[in-house]
A and B are shown apart, each in its own frame.
Chain A
């Protein structure tokens, strides 16, 4: 399993936002996480990439118990997880190509050797002409695709995307979805937090995606209405 949650719970300021989370995400699976705003989708993903630790219960990410990980362990594990945020954060002073190779740099890998792969990646997300642009010069759709490219540059085992189509039009959303489906077919586990039902329906037409719903802090398997 790439992600295993067992009776995991998390809350802010003494309250409990998420509780009794039981979930096993196997390699190569495709999951949607849906629910109304404020239901805890982002918090759930943060538990998955260890920005937050469960207050109760347990979480194992890529086979390791998160509570037993050192800060370096967390860093090493994050290199095997690709994260795409709704508000894609980049280093604004670096050109796009350097931003995309950042995960390789921090992992101590030779980015010169990976230059060809990087070009291929830029081409894959349709940003080869924007390689020297600074992040503030990119449109919303370009930023989302760039965030996806950065998330997969180290060939991670799981991709977590938080409202990846929140700020882009439907055409661009479909394009991004196709990229995520392509990654899933390459064997990556994909978890997408979204409240965009059209996106989920579009995905289910191509991949056997499971849809999870957060309601009242609990995780439910969504029904056939999706």
Chain B
């Protein structure tokens, strides 16, 4: 492992003698740097999209798992009986992991965004709320509604979060598309570098002929090309990644009111993820160039 790391370090550090055997090629070099920068820029956004939709899917999934409630409306004297009946029904319902009667203070907190903190909740005929937490399997909402209607006529199952399920699925798919986009960007980078490397190898056929004549091994010749393309890709991808991160930083900040679009960015340690893009691009360039070079050199005598 240590030898491999030293080899990689030597590759990036460069060998001035070996580097110089291949003549500089301005256009191919600029093309490689520009394309890898553009790909890295796109990869930053694809990563941001994937992470943001991942967060969204997780948040919605989380809420879906524990946001069912049973609302009990009954005359004040009937309320304790109905509350007890509802809790008993929920306790014996398969798929219900937990059921808890919400306190008056919790209900006041829920209403506070609409009516303010000074709402005299004790004087109002506000229905009782039972928070229901589903198990992994979930419960049958229709069956529960029927049982509640029989045992506690004033109780209504408010299954208001079930609409989130298709949204969670959509967010999950969006996350998958983000990952696919990153994969396609990596493949496009590899394809582009393979084409550029092949062009460079073809343009330097005479140089390769001279090197073979004086006893250069394929690995020596390949290394000169591999190092060059790897370094170009690394520098281009670094520029593209930095540009992408700056662009992401200038996106509006994530907040509850803004919703999904303003949350399209990195949060916390997720800012570290894009730092993996330049080295991954360099690894892609390394293998793409190496394979192209070895394949081309094997065709020569």
What DSSP secondary structure best describes chain B's contact surface?
helix
Q: What B residues does A98 contact at CB under 8 A?
A: 20
- The answer to whether residues A91 and B207 also contact, given A51-B301, A52-B301, A102-B21 and a CB cut-off of 8 A, is yes
Task: Evaluate contact between B215 and A79: CB separation under 8 angstroms.
Answer: yes
| Residue A21 CB within 8 A of the other chain | no
Task: Evaluate contact between B23 and A106: CB separation under 8 angstroms.
Answer: no
Task: Evaluate contact between A89 and B210: CB separation under 8 angstroms.
Answer: yes
Task: Evaluate contact between B301 and A103: CB separation under 8 angstroms.
Answer: no
Task: Evaluate contact between B215 and A90: CB separation under 8 angstroms.
Answer: no
Task: Evaluate contact between A89 and B206: CB separation under 8 angstroms.
Answer: yes
Residue of B nearest to A111 (CB): B17
- Inter-chain CA distance A76–B17, complex, in Å, is 19
Task: Evaluate contact between B210 and A78: CB separation under 8 angstroms.
Answer: no
Q: What B residues does A5 contact at CB under 8 A?
A: none
| Cross-chain pair count, CB within 8 angstroms | 60
Instruction: Enumerate A162-212 residues with CB–CB distance to B below 8 Å.
Output: none
Q: What A residues does B23 contact at CB under 8 A?
A: 91-93
Point out residues on A near B: beta carbons under 8 Å.
Answer: 49-52, 71-72, 75-79, 83, 89-94, 98, 102-103, 105-107, 111, 150, 154
Given known contacts A76-B217, A89-B206, A93-B20, what 19 new A-B pairs fall within 8 Å (CB)?
Answer: A49-B213, A71-B297, A71-B298, A72-B218, A75-B212, A75-B216, A75-B218, A78-B214, A79-B214, A83-B213, A90-B210, A91-B210, A93-B24, A102-B214, A105-B17, A105-B18, A106-B211, A107-B215, A150-B214
Q: What B residues does A103 contact at CB under 8 A?
A: 214-215
Q: What A residues does B217 contact at CB under 8 A?
A: 71-72, 75-76, 106
- The answer to whether residues A94 and B209 also contact, given A72-B217, A103-B214 and a CB cut-off of 8 A, is no
Contact-residue bracket for chain B = 20 to 34
Residues 130-167 of chain B, each 1 if its beta carbon lies under 8 Å from chain A, else 0 = 00000000000000000000000000000000000000
Q: What B residues does A71 contact at CB under 8 A?
A: 217-218, 297-298
- Inter-chain CA distance A48–B213, complex, in Å, is 12
